[in-house]
Amino acid sequence: MPMNAVLERILHTREVETVEGQRLPLEGSEVPAAEGRWLHAIVTEIKPAVSLEVGLANGLSALFICEALAQQDRARHIIIDPYQETDWHAVGLTNLRRAGYGGLVEFYPLPSHQALPQLEARGVTLDFAFVDGMHTFDYALVDFFYIDRMLRVGGVVVLDDTDCYPGLRKLCRFIAKNRAYSVYRCSSLPRERRPTLKHRAFEGVARASGTVRRLARPEALEPDLALGLIPESRCIAFQKQADDARRWDFHQEF
């Protein structure tokens, strides 16, 4: 993929600059270059007219996303980050402007649980979303809930850091089991895995015993791989297959 000069310099020097020119070390929480290229490829494929990102920080993921959006006419990238000015010295926004993407960006310096309802109330429709905000199950679920209400059928939502935060992994299971979404892509290839004798025996008992099914964790009865969720994946992308048509009391264990 072609790479913007600002992004290329950041990845080479491992430094970012504030608007005043002060150099700061690149924090270790940024999206790695491989994951950024992965995001770029998805955005290039689906060609979103409107995309959204929760969490900006130093702006690396946004630079990769906007690199792909810049190839389209009239694309728009909505970014939500309440800490951009206070904790990140506005570095993410500065990088986007220096890269020439300022015209693509619509920025909200609010917590996502406040900004997302405002966007929905305005009738915003999304084609793509990247979620990298609070990593607890409840906050990430709220992010997904509102994004889903704005995401068109066929649109894609990506969750970051799904390989190391249990709350995010649980949210992936909720989406796969309870919502009309399919796994669009995982950011790493699956390793060959064979069920152990102990696991095969447990599955056999579980199929035969309703009591065991009630007591066992859902992850034991239906592992992540069976849902298309690769454990080593730092990012998992889901594609929306249909609008929400669940009964008022619908529930699947996840």
* Residue 57 or 190, more confident: 57
Query: Is 254 within a domain?
Result: no
Query: Is 250 within a domain?
Result: no
Q: What's the rounded mean pLDDT across residues 131-147?
A: 97
Query: Is 251 within a domain?
Result: no
Query: Is 212 within a domain?
Result: yes
Task: Assign 188 a pLDDT band (cuts: 50, 70, 90).
Answer: confident
Task: Assign 60 a pLDDT band (cuts: 50, 70, 90).
Answer: very high
Task: Tell me how far the alpha carbon of residue 2 is from its chain's centroid.
Answer: 23
**Predicted local distance difference test score (pLDDT) of residue 3:** 78
Query: Is 214 within a domain?
Result: yes
Q: pLDDT for 62-112, tens place per residue?
A: 999 999 999 988 999 999 999 999 999 999 999 999 999 999 999 999 999
Q: With a threshold of 0.75, does the pTM exceed it?
A: yes
**Predicted local distance difference test score (pLDDT) of residue 214:** 62
Q: Is the per-residue pLDDT at 44 higher than 80?
A: yes
Assign residue 67 the CATH number of its domain. 3.40.50.150
Q: Is-contact 25 48, C-beta < 8 A? A: no
**Predicted local distance difference test score (pLDDT) of residue 190:** 46
Q: Is-contact 238 148, C-beta < 8 A? A: no
Q: Can you give the residue range of the structural domain that contains 52?
A: 5-240
Query: Is 185 within a domain?
Result: yes
Query: Is 245 within a domain?
Result: no
Q: Is the per-residue pLDDT at 36 higher than 60?
A: yes
Q: What's the rounded mean pLDDT across residues 136-165?
A: 97
Task: Assign 202 a pLDDT band (cuts: 50, 70, 90).
Answer: very low
Query: Is 146 within a domain?
Result: yes
Q: What's the rounded mean pLDDT across residues 175-183?
A: 97
Task: Tell me how far the alpha carbon of residue 104 is from its chain's centroid.
Answer: 20
Max Cα separation, the chain?
67
Total domains present in the chain: 1
Q: Is the per-residue pLDDT at 194 higher than 70?
A: no
Q: Is-contact 132 54, C-beta < 8 A? A: yes
Name the one residue in this structure whose structure tokens are 């679920």.
141
Q: What contacts 137, CB < 8 A, 6 or more positions away? A: 166, 167, 168, 170, 171
Mean of pLDDT over the chain: 89
Q: What's the rounded mean pLDDT across residues 174-187?
A: 97
